[in-house]
Amino acid sequence: MARDFKDKVVVITGAASGLGYSLCKRFAQAGAKVAGLDKDAAGLKALAEELGGMGASVNTFLCDVTDEAVVNDTINQIIDNIGDIYVLINNAGVSHVSLFKETRAFVLKRVIDISLFGTIYCTKAAIDSIIKTQGTVIGIASVAGYAPLAGRTGYAAAKHGMAGFLNTLRTEVDRDGVKVLLVFATYIKTNLAKNNLSADGTPMRQERPTSGNVLMPDEAAESIFNAAAQEERQLLLGETAQASWDLYHSDPQTYEQIMLSLNEYVFNSTADDGDS
Q: What is the pLDDT of residues 143-188, one digit of tens each?
A: 999 999 999 999 999 999 999 999 999 999 999 999 999 999 988 8
Name which residue leads in pLDDT, 199 or 253: 253
pLDDT for 30-41, tens place per residue? Answer: 999 999 999 999
- Residue pair 237/186 in contact (Cβ under 8 Å)? The answer is yes
Sheet of 234-237: strand order equals 57-62, 33-38, 9-13, 85-90, 136-142, 179-185, 234-237
Cα R_g (the chain), whole angstroms: 18
Task: State how far the Cα of 13 lies from the Cα of 257, in Å rounded to an integer.
Answer: 34
Does pLDDT of 271 surpass 50?
A: no
pLDDT for 210-251, tens place per residue? Answer: 555 678 999 999 999 999 999 999 999 999 999 999 999 999
Task: State how far the Cα of 87 lies from the Cα of 80, in Å rounded to an integer.
Answer: 16
Task: State how far the Cα of 45 lies from the Cα of 50, in Å rounded to an integer.
Answer: 9
Q: Return the closest-CA partner of residue 57 out of 16, 19, 24.
A: 24
- Residue pair 132/84 in contact (Cβ under 8 Å)? The answer is yes
Task: State how far the Cα of 256 lies from the Cα of 50, in Å rounded to an integer.
Answer: 43
State the pLDDT at residue 112: 98
State the pLDDT at residue 273: 42
Length of the chain counted residue by residue: 276
CB within 8 A of 66, min separation 6: which ones? 113, 114, 117, 118, 121
- In the chain, what is the straight-line distance between the N-terminal and C-terminal CA atoms, in Å? 52
Mean model confidence pLDDT for the chain: 92
Task: State how far the Cα of 186 lies from the Cα of 19, in Å rounded to an integer.
Answer: 12
State the pLDDT at residue 190: 66
Task: State how far the Cα of 111 lies from the Cα of 92, in Å rounded to an integer.
Answer: 10
State the pLDDT at residue 196: 84
Does pLDDT of 18 surpass 70?
A: yes
State the pLDDT at residue 158: 98
- Residue pair 126/85 in contact (Cβ under 8 Å)? The answer is yes
Give the phi and the psi of residue 40 in degrees, each rounded to 5.
-90, 100
State the pLDDT at residue 268: 79
Report residue 207's pLDDT band, with 50, 70 and 90 as the boundaries. low
For the chain, domain boundaries: 9-275
Quick one: average pLDDT of 67-72?
98
Q: Which CATH architecture has domain 9-275?
A: 3-Layer(aba) Sandwich (3.40)
Q: Return the closest-CA partner of residue 130 out of 89, 188, 187.
A: 89
Report residue 254's pLDDT band, with 50, 70 and 90 as the boundaries. very high
DSSP class of residue 15 equals T
Name which residue leads in pLDDT, 104 or 202: 104
Report residue 189's pLDDT band, with 50, 70 and 90 as the boundaries. confident
- How much is the pTM? 0.92
Does pLDDT of 270 surpass 60?
A: no
Report residue 208's pLDDT band, with 50, 70 and 90 as the boundaries. low
State the pLDDT at residue 276: 29
Q: Which residues are catalytic?
A: 155
State the pLDDT at residue 2: 86
Name which residue leads in pLDDT, 205 or 269: 205
State the pLDDT at residue 53: 94
State the pLDDT at residue 39: 96
